[in-house]
Structure 1
């Protein structure tokens, strides 16, 4: 029969127990943003403010409930991405109560005071909101002076350069490194695959008609943004020599004279009220096809050789500010070089990408003439 422990031993054991079950101290996290700035937090961020609401597109690929770690965001997302916002609202109803910090589309529409009042543990800005492409802008300095850490990420102005560091930073600062590394492996593998297949191929002239079917023709990418997607897919953007900035207006007459080998329209649910090209999450095939037929029948566009020879396509515009652009690039590459991508199925690639997403990604995201 064993001896009973002394009263002193029992008391010592009781005193020691809390030390054994005390939670481990939060681990410091750090990463480098797209401006080359090192960002360090005492623990993974749990009160993030997104200067542009659309940055949830990336956060939702590495976190199963991105809304749970947000303290506020820009209102641009609800306006520009109604189909995607609806999916988030259905799965995460708390998104309706997130405070706004201004529109977020431009620095003038962003409210420093509203963001500061939310006491974030991390402020996330895009390059455009940060104020410069080469160094910290005024907003960065103001937040840091107030003791708020700032991370600058971007998937729009220079997506092929900034996507990897932006995802790496978000993964590190939110403690989601494992899923982020899997996503990066998927992204880089698909991008390498496209690059290998288009090597040495002639680059057909491509015109991207952005937000197609609106009142005015024709908005198109100049340099960066969708222009990078065309180049990565093995094409040549005919508007890049006509537009000095990231986007601009090309007249219908210029489009007709340019006579592109390939015509690609972009659209979304935001174009429905304007009678434009409707693509996106939850959009059925019949709706997309009817909107595409109307677009291709418009005066001027109907005369393009690319349309008559069935080299006209439609692509979801919201591929343009998310790491999911890897799927759009593969889809473009198959349109531009069908013989080199005969065994590639972009729909299967989209399904693989959707496995990372916090929301369902089903719908009509591209269409062919």
Structure 2
């Protein structure tokens, strides 16, 4: 009798152990990052450290409470994105207590030691922070040597190439595949529509004045980043011939000589104290309009033909480095090719995108003369 019970107990134990092993294997997740590296986790990540705080912009589009799965993040977000940070702060007060791992804007401002001390189950780095512009960076190698999985994502240097794989990677590694695939479908669908409509259209010259009015004229994108948005919207970025890297400074004189057909300024709440273009979440139309009026009346800018002929516009700078840039591309395309996009409403597209977001996305995000 006891032998039978013992044998039965052993069988049940073996079955239970097998079930546990099967469950563990079933929870394991594997995905490839933007460098083609394979990342495998034993289970969806619950303690993520974001090397750059701004990566919450993407995480918050595929997870209903992205703060709940963070163990720490870069301090750049509060400084660079005060309007979006305020929205996360109001919705998820726990964000205030998140440990910081330095300013993720550069490798020099990032603390490897602080990140390691948080014992994350996943470290998320951008291409630039990982040092991957010239091959695998030492941060990736150092984290892996410490036994911490690293995923490299990016929405900045090559956004039209890296956005979809970055979203798919994040969705898989945090157990939000369905939500990420829904966002990818929306994103790709809007880009396909835009590409179809600009086929055969004239390609106008465009100048993007980044952080307009807040610093000396004129910061502008070179290749990648906002340059990709211009190209996808059916325009030609005049700064690519003047700026060797992703971003750079050109003189006001160079801008005046180039005399672009379209002038597009980018702004944000981070420029309010500097008298620059103020756009963003929670910004009312009157505030945005007054800052835009001042910008267009400034010496030099006021003499541009694009300004006098009412082809000058403003975009929220923080459309950059987030999948929401698809809305900015649609908005640009309608400005550059109004007849081809007469029936398209970028505000409706923004509302559709906002349905994915963990925070409200209302405010003045673009402006027209």
- TM-score, normalised on structure 2? 0.94
Once the two structures are superposed, residues 137-177 of structure 1 have per-residue CA deviations (whole angstroms, 9 ceiling, x without a partner) of 10000000000000000000000000010000000000000
Q: Note the C-alpha offset of 1:132.
A: 1.8
The 5 A counterparts of 1:3-14 are: none
1:259–1:305 Cα contact (<8 Å) kept: yes
Match of 1:103, SS state, is coil
1:279–1:315 Cα contact (<8 Å) kept: yes
1:276–1:295 Cα contact (<8 Å) kept: yes
Partner of 2:362: 362
Give the whole-Å Cα distance in 2 for the aligned partners of 1:180 and 1:357. 12
Structure 1 residues without counterparts, runs of 5 or longer: 1-7
The 5 A counterparts of 1:339-358 are: 339-358=339-358
Give the whole-Å Cα distance in 2 for the aligned partners of 1:19 and 1:86. 48
Match of 2:155, SS state, is coil
Give the whole-Å Cα distance in 2 for the aligned partners of 1:16 and 1:40. 31
Give the whole-Å Cα distance in 2 for the aligned partners of 1:48 and 1:135. 24
Partner of 2:242: 242
Partner of 1:93: 93
Partner of 1:115: 115
The 5 A counterparts of 1:33-52 are: 33-52=33-52
Partner of 2:76: 76
> What is the RMSD computed on CA atoms of the aligned residues?
1.8
Partner of 1:258: 258
Match of 1:141, SS state, is helix
1:127–1:152 Cα contact (<8 Å) kept: yes
Q: Note the C-alpha offset of 1:215.
A: 3.5
Match of 1:208, SS state, is strand
Q: What is the number of equivalent residue pairs in this alignment? A: 358
The 5 A counterparts of 1:213-362 are: 213-362=213-362
Give the whole-Å Cα distance in 2 for the aligned partners of 1:303 and 1:134. 41
Give the whole-Å Cα distance in 2 for the aligned partners of 1:30 and 1:291. 47
Q: Note the C-alpha offset of 1:368.
A: 0.3
Q: Does 206-215 or 53-62 show the bigger shift? A: 206-215
Give the whole-Å Cα distance in 2 for the aligned partners of 1:194 and 1:286. 30
Once the two structures are superposed, residues 182-219 of structure 1 have per-residue CA deviations (whole angstroms, 9 ceiling, x without a partner) of 00000000000000000111110000000000240010
Once the two structures are superposed, residues 54-110 of structure 1 have per-residue CA deviations (whole angstroms, 9 ceiling, x without a partner) of 000000000000000000000000100000000000000000000000000001100
Match of 1:254, SS state, is helix
Give the whole-Å Cα distance in 2 for the aligned partners of 1:16 and 1:367. 68
Partner of 2:125: 125
1:266–1:315 Cα contact (<8 Å) kept: yes
Q: Note the C-alpha offset of 1:115.
A: 0.1
Instruction: Give the 4+ runs in structure 1 shifted more than 3 A.
Output: 15-20, 22-26
1:35–1:133 Cα contact (<8 Å) kept: no
Partner of 1:3: none
1:267–1:278 Cα contact (<8 Å) kept: yes
Match of 1:239, SS state, is helix
Partner of 1:4: none
Match of 2:27, SS state, is coil
- TM-score, normalised on structure 1? 0.94
Give the whole-Å Cα distance in 2 for the aligned partners of 1:362 and 1:45. 30
1:35–1:134 Cα contact (<8 Å) kept: no
Give the whole-Å Cα distance in 1 for the aligned partners of 2:312 and 2:200. 24
Give the whole-Å Cα distance in 1 for the aligned partners of 2:132 and 2:93. 35
Q: Note the C-alpha offset of 1:134.
A: 5.2
Structure 2 residues without counterparts, runs of 5 or longer: none
Partner of 1:206: 206
Once the two structures are superposed, residues 217-263 of structure 1 have per-residue CA deviations (whole angstroms, 9 ceiling, x without a partner) of 01000111000000000000000101100111111111111000000
Partner of 2:195: 195
1:259–1:304 Cα contact (<8 Å) kept: yes
Give the whole-Å Cα distance in 1 for the aligned partners of 2:230 and 2:134. 25
Give the whole-Å Cα distance in 1 for the aligned partners of 2:52 and 2:276. 25
